[in-house]
């Protein structure tokens, strides 16, 4: 069983954004083995909205289960080109993992997109 973590994110437009965290199996006192798992994150205007503003996953390469997968480390990396394309300033997101038909939410929160001050190099 995984408890959903709440993490609000601030993402600056036209800048690299990265997020990395590690999942643990608290009952066993070990990291969660993510071998064979898939991870997906969606950003929506509000919870329950049918509109998906952005989607990142292990399938599209934006989310990576770091090697070795037995260490339970998940990374999300968005380039400046990706964040520059954001057309929203506030939204919500969640991230799920799936394995053998079991889908579990692992993290959720609000997103605030901040304007860049200095233009890119």
Sketch out the chain's domains with CATH numbers. Answer: 5-113 (2.60.40.10)
94, 41 Cβ separation under 8 angstroms = yes
Band the pLDDT of 29: cuts 50, 70, 90: confident
Average pLDDT, the chain: 94
Band the pLDDT of 55: cuts 50, 70, 90: very high
Helix (H, G, I), strand (E, B) or coil at 71: helix
Would residue 46 be called left, alpha or beta, if left means φ above 0 and alpha means ψ between -120 and 50 degrees? beta
Band the pLDDT of 2: cuts 50, 70, 90: low
Alpha-carbon 55 to chain mean position? 9
Q: Give the Cα-Cα-Cα angle 69, 73, 74 (nearest 5 degrees).
A: 105
Residue with more model confidence, 102 or 26: 102
From 88, 104, 108, select the one nearest 96 (Cα to Cα). 104
């Amino acid at each position: 069983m995984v408890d959903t973590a709440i993490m609000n994110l601030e993402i600056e437009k036209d800048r690299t954004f990265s997020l990395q965290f590690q999942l643990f199996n608290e009952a066993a006192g070990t990291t969660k083995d993510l071998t064979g798992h898939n991870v997906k994150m969606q950003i929506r205007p509000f919870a329950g909205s049918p509109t998906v503003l952005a989607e990142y996953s292990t399938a599209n390469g934006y989310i990576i289960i770091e090697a070795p997968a037995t260490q339970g480390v998940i990374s999300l990396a968005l380039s400046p080109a990706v964040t520059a394309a954001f057309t929203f300033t506030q939204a919500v997101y969640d991230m799920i993992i799936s394995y053998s038909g079991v889908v579990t939410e692992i993290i959720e929160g609000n997103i605030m997109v901040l304007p860049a001050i200095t233009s890119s190099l």
